[in-house]
Amino acid sequence: MTQDYPDWIRAFNLVGTNITIPINIEASDVTLPVSIEACDLTLKVWIIAQLVVLDVNLKASAITLDVNITASEVTISINFADQSVAVFDAPKWFAHEAQQVFVTGLDTLASGSWGLIASRFVPAGSTYFLTVVSIGYNGATNANVGLYLVIGGTITIRLNGMNGAGLTFDTPLRLEGYDAVELYGLQVSGGAAAVTGGFGGYDEID
């Protein structure tokens, strides 16, 4: 004999300061609308289904969202209410990649002297996001090398190391059109030697 169980529906509204919700759903059709207002929220969702529609509205000061979805069809709608949100989709990020700009140079410097290694003027109508800077040394002996980066006439970054040094910025440095970027290098080896250096990032058209 076949037992017919009734559908199971549970509606819930959560308001609290600390909420942890583990959810594990195995079904052929799942519709899950979630609206949460909380100060501290940890939401872990693991869904294995044929069709998933997930509507999430998050309003909180701190959110950790860990989602693992295995499904043949997934639709996810997310509404952010926050002070600052930055989301790059794949096409926009690839557009950044296509506009990458790297500037490098080389100069032979006497020991203990500075020299201009590389420079660039940001084109009009563009914003240059600087993400990396480095300095290197081509001499036969070990040497202390250093750099300072000048942006718009102001020394912004100073860096030094043995035979080379580099820095990647967690937050890119933003330069508007016509801003000048200048990389100066130094080597201290006891004699003249070649110093190499460069900086890189990407342009966005305003």
- Domain end marker among 84, 119, 137: 84
Q: Is residue 91 part of a domain?
A: no
**Using CA atoms, how far apart are residues 62 and 42, in angstroms rounded to an integer?**
9
Query: What is the CATH classification number for the domain harbouring 189?
Result: 2.60.120.380
Share above pLDDT 70 across residues of the chain, in percent, rounded to a whole number:
56
51 and 145 in a single domain? The answer is no
For residues 70 and 129, membership in a common domain is answered with: no
Q: Where does a domain end: 36, 60, 84?
A: 84
**Amino acid identity at 97:** E
Residues 138 and 165 in one domain: yes
Beta strands in 81-192 (DSSP E): 100-109, 113-121, 126-137, 144-151, 154-162, 164-176, 180-188
Is residue 150 situated within a structural domain? Answer: yes
- pLDDT given at position 195: 96
Instruction: Give the best-scoring range by mean pLDDT among 41-45, 95-99, 181-185, 188-192.
Output: 181-185
Residue bearing the bigger pLDDT, 48 or 189? 189
- Domain co-membership, 66 together with 102: no
Burial class (CB in 10 A: 0-12, 13-18, 19+), 135: buried
Does residue 6 sit within a domain? no
Asked which of 84, 106, 124 is the last residue of a domain, the reply is 84
Q: Is 90 exceeded by the pLDDT of residue 43?
A: no
pTM: 0.56
Q: Work out the pLDDT band at 136, boundaries 50, 70, 90.
A: very high
Is there a domain that residue 93 lies in? Answer: no
Do 122 and 148 fall into the same domain? yes
Q: Which domain holds residue 45?
A: 22-84
Q: Domain for residue 131, yes or no?
A: yes
Query: Within this chain, do residues 75 and 138 fall inside the same structural domain, yes or no?
Result: no
pLDDT at residue number 96: 58
Handedness of CA 181, 171, 99, 84 (dihedral sign): negative
Same domain, 190 and 111: yes
Identify whether 146 is part of a domain: yes
pLDDT per position as a tens digit, 76-99: 766 666 555 555 666 665 555 558
Overall number of domains in the chain: 2
Which two three-digit tokens encode residue 80?
């952010």
